[in-house]
Structures are given as structure tokens and as C-alpha cells.
Chains A and B, each alone.
Chain A
Amino acid sequence: MNNFFEVENVDFVVGGNTKVKNMSFSIEKEGDIVCLLGPSGIGKTTILRAIAGLEKIKNGHIKLKGKILSSEKINIEPENRNISLAFQENSLFPHYSVEKNILLGAEKNPDNKDKKVSFNEIVDLLDISKILNQYPHQISAGEAQRASLARSLLSKPDLLLLDEPLSNVDQSQKEDIQEKIKKLLAKLKITTIIVTHDSYEAFLLRY
């Protein structure tokens, strides 16, 4: 049986140096949530970036829905993979309001009826209604992270990659948001890989 997503015998490299060697893992079904847990500097972000197509790989291959995305010979451009990576740092477009930033996510897959989610639903879930009219430089790091997550969710990707998604969010809000994200991902059946060094978060979010 074909796995929904698969990484097989891949060496992950950054700037020509191998960061993670001979790694294999797979996600069997669409909608599953997987956590990569480990201490800082071990190469978790490198793995996500390579899956997203932002770094090349050496050896092996990365497959999504039976199609090779990356190998030593094949390398599909990031914009042509239906994958979304929510970055740890602020990656909002600085000249657009938060609302416009999030709505750009909705433009990516407007016809995907399987994963129906509204803008308001995501805004409420992530508690960012108050900052919609603000610009990225006017909001806190935690708020920027949630806005970025909202944009990724609205883009309805085949595979969602979350890099320390709530690392800047207040502890008081964190658990509530974690629960809500988990429910939403389950409802939308968005396959997700979450990178975190927080074991509590890993166990809470995994499916």
C-alpha cells in the first residue's frame, strides 16, 4: 500500500553540509498529524525546509501522494508543491495588513472543496480578530506567529509543516490554541508535520 507521504533514506543538507543523514519516515493516511521532537540544532527545521522544497536533498527521495517531490535528480519548485510551511519567525508580508496577509492564503486553493474552512473560523480560533487591521510591524511576535499560522491553514495545503508553531505564543493562550488547532486539522483532514522541542506540545498535538 502506498503511503500518503514518505521520506526514504534522505540526507538533508544545508550549504553543502549534511545535517541529517539517512532519514526515513512515512505518514500512512491523509489527515494524520506527526511530530518531530528533538533538541534545538538537531536539524528539524532543515527537514521541514527540504520537504517544502527550500533546500535540496542528497540521496533518497521525498514523495507526496505517490509523486516524487525531491530526489537527487528531481526537484519540484516550492511554489509547485501543494505544501505550506508556517515559519517560526515573522514571515508576514510587511506592506500588507494582517487581514490581507491571511486572505492571501485563501487565494492558493480556492477550489478545494474537501477542506472547507472560513476566514472567520480561523480568525476566531487563533484569537486574532483584534489585530486584523494592523500591520506586521505593529503586532507582537506571538500574534505574528498566529497570523502566519492562519494564512497557512487557509491555503488548504496537502501537507502542512509547522515549525515550532506556538513558540512565541503566551503560555496562558497556548493550551487553548493547541486544542483548537488539533480539532481543526482533524476536521479539515490536513496532513501535518509539526516540529517542536516541547515534548508536552508534541504529545498534545499528535494524532
Chain B
Amino acid sequence: MTKKFNIWFALSFTISLFVCIPIITVFSSFFQNTSNYYEVLKDTFLIEYILNSLTLLILVLIFTFILGTGTAYLVSFFKFPLSDFFKWALILSFAVPPYIYAYSLTAFFDNYGTAFTILTNLLGEGEYNKIIPKFNGMFGAVLSMTFSLFAYVFILSRASFLYQSQNLIDLGKNLGFSRFKSFFKIILPAARPAIVAGLSLVAMETLAEFGAVDFFSINTLTTGIYNSWIAFDDLAFANRIASFLLLFIFSLFIIENLSRKKAKYHFNIKGGFKQKEKIKLKGTKSFFAFVFCFFVFFMSFIFPLSQMLYWTIKFPENLFDLQIVTLSLNTLYLALLSSVVLISFSLISNYGSRVTNNKTLNILSTMSISGYAIPGVILAVAFITFIAWFDNTIIKSLGFLSIKKIFFGSILGLVLVYFIRFYSLAFNGIKSGYEKINIAVDESAYMLGYSKRKTFLNIHVPFLRNSLLLIVILISLEIIRELPITLILRPFNFETFATTAYISASEDLLEAAAVPSLFLILIASIFIIIASKYILRDHNE
């Protein structure tokens, strides 16, 4: 009855197809000619790009695993000073994008930087530049990404640890396992899908990262894409590198998806779940647990925040030079406009998938949500490629005026690419809300005489209200931090905190980058604190 071609199918199909455009564009680059840059790069830097990307990936994965699961384990299973505080404070690291972390790291440890000033004030003048470690290049990038991204692993591991029943822990005790052995034999394997899911997100973000690697002048595949477009004006080759990166990211994406599906089996919602009692740590164990969590919290949030705050106070003229109100309005305008557009269309496509249950649509939906796995640089370049092709081959051949101006350097183009990039956040968020609505609920609405539209508006939308609010917050958070898409596609003279910080930093004016970075961190922190209410909801809440 409900499985038929209708308006819901048509709408869902169109939305999903639109989101797939960049993927199709990127892979079509194989059939296009490239400039000589390809020949030059193939023989010189291409291997370096690949090796750097892999090194970065492996090191960031190792460190985020240690920090993410370590802190999640401590706050989920034990009570120690400030353990409840760390539960949400550790996710504040999301407010600090890797590129801002990179600025902080350099600002603090660089020659005559903040560390030098502190030592001089404490110990008097000296040759401190020689003893202060330098975190440049690869190591700096690894640290920046680790402290900025570990929270993905923390959130998902913690959620998985929370869903582990006390029965499971008791089972370990019954078998005579030590706490150490229980962790490695029971707790960690049971949380494995969630940890893999978290690490996959970290991997995607690491491969997609542009700001931090660009700042530390590391040549990766992502910067390679940017350079081949900006420096050599070779869109086809930029897309060709992008397609290699995409293939790699897709394999990670599939792993992440499979893990997520498996992770569901651990959510024992009804029956057999016994709420865990946290173990109160005493003495040195309590001290070390506190120190570990505090170190991670300090390094991931307090350190970059205070560095940016310090420079803002030290160079107040930058604060007055900056148009704070305009930047705030621009940033929030983009975030809210994109959220509204994303949520509206994601609701329609989700509902369309639900009522039509069509296989083609399901496959297209799965493909379309992969936008999140595609680095912003690739999306922006793919979008420009597609519009240029569409304009040259279709619009002009029909005798119409060029449409490029409508999309390039306009809010419309920016929002459309944000839409593709963050569609999966909105789509998956709504989908997981929908999974809580039994299909019998829809059917009983029909039994009460509700049409599909009325069921959607009167039953689904009110039920999904909380999910929608959380999605708005998460999308806003992403857009506030987003750099490459905004940088490439923003209208002339339209700046956000992220682009202002980047432009100052790229001109070696780190002090000037501090003010927009500080505001970015503060606004993002507010969004995180609101979102934490939903993200960190405990099992019995």
C-alpha cells in the first residue's frame, strides 16, 4: 500500500541525487585531460603527499585512541575528584579546531613565544629558546589533531561503556579477572565497534584537515588538491587526487558504518540491564586518574583558550580592529541558515525513504550521506567544476546568460556546499530519531484518519523536536569551525571568525589571529555546552 511512487519519493530522490553530485564529478575527472602539473607531481611530490597523509593518519589514530578510550574508561567506571566535571568538560575540545590548536602551539613554543615570556618572568633573562621544545611540522600537526579530535573516540567509547551492563563486569569478577584483565578481555572488546566508529571519524577528519597541515607546511593529499587548483589552475587534476583520497576515505567510511551497525547489538535497552555502580578510587589511583583527565582537558581546551586569551589581552588593538559584531552575525547567519535548510530537506528525504521503502532510494541515500567523508576542499572544488561544466555545456548552449555568478562567491553556493558536506549529520540524526518511532505508530495514525502529510507534521516532527535541536547545534558547531569551503566559496568581503583567523595566520600575524580564534572557541563552547545535555545523556535518563 505504502510502497508506491509518489511525491515523497520524487522529493527524496532529487535531494539524494543533488548530494551525490560531487562524488560523480570527482570520479569523472579520470576521463578529462590534466595539465603538465600531473607529470611534474607524479615524479616528485606525489609519493611525499601519500606518505605524509599516512604518517599523520597513523599517529593521530594511535594518540586519539589512547586519550579517547583512556579518559572514557576512567569517567565511565570510576569516581575520583572532578570525574563528573570531566564527563562533559572533555568534549569542550571540539570547540578548538586543529588549525587554531596549531596557532596556539606555535604561539606558545616558538622562539620568544609565550613559554619564553613565562620563563623570563619567572627566572630572569636567559637562552630559553634553545631549551624550549619546538612543535613544528609533522609532530605539531599530529598534536593539534590529536587534542582536537580525540573527543570523537571519547564520546563514542563512553556511550558504549555506559551501555555495558554491570552483569558483564560481575561476570569478569566471577571468572577471577583483575580490573586490568577485565578491561582488556571484556570491556574493551565489547566497546570495540564504538571505538572503531570513533577512530573512523578521526581518520576522516585527519585526512580532510586543511588548516593545520597548511599552517605547518606539510604536503598532504588535501593540500595537494588545493595547490593543484589554486597554483596550477588544474581542476581536473585536483579532482583526480581527490578521487584517490575518496576511495581511501570510502573504505574507512564502510568500516565505520559496519561497526556502527554492530554497535547496536550492545545497546541492551530492555531487560537484563543492570546499572553500573562506579568504583570510588582512593589514594594514588584517584590522583593519577585525576591527573590524566586533567592533563587531557588542560591540553585540549584550557591551553589553546588561555593562549588566545593571553594574546588578545596583550595585543588589545587587534580586538578593536576586528569587527566582532559583523563576524558574529556572519558566522551565526551561515550556521543557522544552513541548519534550517539541512533539517528541512533531511526531514523530507527521511520521511520519503520511510514511506516509500524503495531500494533505489535507499542506495542513493546511503551514497548521499557520504558527503561528510569528503574533505571540504574536494567538495568546494567539485562544486566549482560541476557548475562550470553545467554553465558551459548546458546553460550557454541553450542561449541563457551565465549562472556562475549565482553560485560562485555567493551565500547560495556556500550554503549548497555546506548542505552536501553536512547532509549526513542531519540525515543520520533524523534517521536515528526515526528509528525510535515504530512503523506501527505511522500505521495507527493512518487508522485515525491522518494523511501522510498530517502524520509527518503532527506525529513525526513533534516527536523529533529534541533530535532536531541537537542537529541544529551540531551543524552550527561544524559550520562555525569550518574553514576550506568558506575560504574558497565565500562572497567577497564576507568573513567569518574561521576565515579571519586563517588569513591572519597565513600572513604570519598570529597575534591578530588570536582574537577571532578566541571568539570562535567561545561561541563553539556555548554550542557544545548546550549539546552536551543530549550527547552525554546517561542510560537511565
Partners in one complex: yes
A85 x B447 contact (CB < 8 A):
yes
Residues of A within 8 A of B450 (CB): 79
B437 x A78 contact (CB < 8 A):
no
Question: Roughly how many angstroms separate A85 CA and B451 CA in the complex, as a whole number?
Answer: 16
Known contacts: A56-B1, A75-B1, A93-B459. The answer to whether A108 contacts B449 by CB under 8 A is: yes
Q: Does B436 contact A (CB under 8 A)?
A: yes
Query: B446, B463, B465: which contacts A78 (Cβ < 8 A)?
Result: B446
Chain A residue, CB-CB nearest to B444: A91
A89 x B438 contact (CB < 8 A):
yes
B463 x A155 contact (CB < 8 A):
no
Residues of B within 8 A of A108 (CB): 448-449
Question: Roughly how many angstroms separate A52 CA and B445 CA in the complex, as a whole number?
Answer: 12
Query: A54, A83, A87, A90: which contacts B2 (Cβ < 8 A)?
Result: A54
- Minimum Cβ distance to chain B for residue A50 (Å): 8
Which B residues from 452 to 477 make CB contacts under 8 A with A? 459, 462-463, 465
Q: Does B171 contact A (CB under 8 A)?
A: no
Question: Roughly how many angstroms separate A61 CA and B369 CA in the complex, as a whole number?
Answer: 42
- Minimum Cβ distance to chain A for residue B192 (Å): 29
Question: Roughly how many angstroms separate A55 CA and B446 CA in the complex, as a whole number?
Answer: 13
Chain A residue, CB-CB nearest to B450: A79
B449 x A90 contact (CB < 8 A):
no
The interface bits of chain B over 141-158 (1 if a CB of A lies within 8 angstroms of the residue's CB, else 0) are 000000000000000000
Chain A residue, CB-CB nearest to B357: A15
- Minimum Cβ distance to chain A for residue B6 (Å): 11
Query: B438, B441, B448, B459: which contacts A105 (Cβ < 8 A)?
Result: B448
B444 x A53 contact (CB < 8 A):
no
- Minimum Cβ distance to chain A for residue B536 (Å): 20
Which B residues from 1 to 36 make CB contacts under 8 A with A? 1-2
Q: Does A38 contact B (CB under 8 A)?
A: no
A90 x B436 contact (CB < 8 A):
no
Question: Roughly how many angstroms separate A78 CA and B4 CA in the complex, as a whole number?
Answer: 14
Which B residues from 392 to 441 make CB contacts under 8 A with A? 436-438, 440-441
A54 x B1 contact (CB < 8 A):
yes
- Minimum Cβ distance to chain B for residue A160 (Å): 10
B459 x A90 contact (CB < 8 A):
no
Question: Roughly how many angstroms separate A87 CA and B1 CA in the complex, as a whole number?
Answer: 17
Chain B residue, CB-CB nearest to A56: B1
Q: Give the interface size bracket for B toward A.
A: 20 to 34
Question: Roughly how many angstroms separate A75 CA and B3 CA in the complex, as a whole number?
Answer: 12
Question: Roughly how many angstroms separate A108 CA and B447 CA in the complex, as a whole number?
Answer: 9
- Minimum Cβ distance to chain B for residue A92 (Å): 7
B447 x A84 contact (CB < 8 A):
yes
A91 x B443 contact (CB < 8 A):
yes
A79 x B451 contact (CB < 8 A):
yes
Question: Roughly how many angstroms separate A81 CA and B2 CA in the complex, as a whole number?
Answer: 15
Question: Roughly how many angstroms separate A151 CA and B443 CA in the complex, as a whole number?
Answer: 13
- Minimum Cβ distance to chain B for residue A46 (Å): 12
Interface of A is mostly: loop
Residues of B within 8 A of A54 (CB): 1-2, 443, 446
Question: Roughly how many angstroms separate A91 CA and B1 CA in the complex, as a whole number?
Answer: 19
Known contacts: A53-B1, A79-B451. The answer to whether A90 contacts B438 by CB under 8 A is: yes
Interface of B is mostly: helix
Q: Does A148 contact B (CB under 8 A)?
A: yes
A83 x B440 contact (CB < 8 A):
no
- Minimum Cβ distance to chain B for residue A26 (Å): 22
- Minimum Cβ distance to chain A for residue B143 (Å): 44
Residues of A within 8 A of B440 (CB): 87, 89-91
Question: Roughly how many angstroms separate A84 CA and B450 CA in the complex, as a whole number?
Answer: 12
Q: Does A67 contact B (CB under 8 A)?
A: no
- Minimum Cβ distance to chain B for residue A55 (Å): 6
Residues of B within 8 A of A94 (CB): 436-437, 441, 463
Question: Roughly how many angstroms separate A90 CA and B436 CA in the complex, as a whole number?
Answer: 12
- Minimum Cβ distance to chain A for residue B464 (Å): 9
Question: Roughly how many angstroms separate A107 CA and B449 CA in the complex, as a whole number?
Answer: 9
B1 x A95 contact (CB < 8 A):
no
Residues of B within 8 A of A23 (CB): none
B448 x A155 contact (CB < 8 A):
yes
Question: Roughly how many angstroms separate A25 CA and B407 CA in the complex, as a whole number?
Answer: 63
Chain B residue, CB-CB nearest to A106: B448
Which A residues from 85 to 141 make CB contacts under 8 A with B? 85, 87, 89-95, 104-105, 107-108
The interface bits of chain B over 463-500 (1 if a CB of A lies within 8 angstroms of the residue's CB, else 0) are 10100000000000000000000000000000000000
- Minimum Cβ distance to chain A for residue B465 (Å): 8
A79 x B446 contact (CB < 8 A):
yes
Q: Does A152 contact B (CB under 8 A)?
A: yes
- Minimum Cβ distance to chain B for residue A106 (Å): 10
Question: Roughly how many angstroms separate A107 CA and B458 CA in the complex, as a whole number?
Answer: 14
B2 x A92 contact (CB < 8 A):
no
Residues of B within 8 A of A89 (CB): 438, 440
Chain A residue, CB-CB nearest to B451: A79
Q: Does A77 contact B (CB under 8 A)?
A: yes
- Minimum Cβ distance to chain A for residue B1 (Å): 5
Chain A residue, CB-CB nearest to B466: A95
Question: Roughly how many angstroms separate A148 CA and B447 CA in the complex, as a whole number?
Answer: 12
A55 x B1 contact (CB < 8 A):
yes
Question: Roughly how many angstroms separate A77 CA and B2 CA in the complex, as a whole number?
Answer: 9
A52 x B447 contact (CB < 8 A):
yes
Query: A55, A56, A78, A92: which contacts B447 (Cβ < 8 A)?
Result: A78
Known contacts: A93-B463, A94-B436. The answer to whether A107 contacts B444 by CB under 8 A is: no
Interface pairs A-B: 7 shortest CB-CB: A91-B440, A78-B446, A91-B444, A95-B463, A87-B440, A79-B446, A84-B447
Contacts A/B (CB < 8 Å), 16 sampled: A77-B446, A78-B443, A79-B447, A79-B448, A79-B451, A80-B449, A85-B443, A85-B444, A85-B447, A87-B440, A90-B438, A91-B441, A94-B463, A95-B465, A104-B448, A151-B444
Q: Assuming A93-B444, A94-B436, what are 20 further A-B pairs, CB within 8 angstroms?
A: A52-B443, A52-B447, A53-B446, A54-B446, A79-B448, A79-B450, A79-B451, A84-B448, A85-B443, A85-B444, A90-B438, A91-B438, A91-B443, A93-B459, A94-B441, A95-B465, A108-B449, A151-B448, A152-B447, A155-B449
Q: Which A residues have a C-beta under 8 Å from some C-beta of B?
A: 52-56, 75, 77-80, 83-85, 87, 89-95, 104-105, 107-108, 148, 151-152, 155, 157
Q: Which B residues have a C-beta under 8 Å from some C-beta of A?
A: 1-2, 436-438, 440-441, 443-451, 459, 462-463, 465
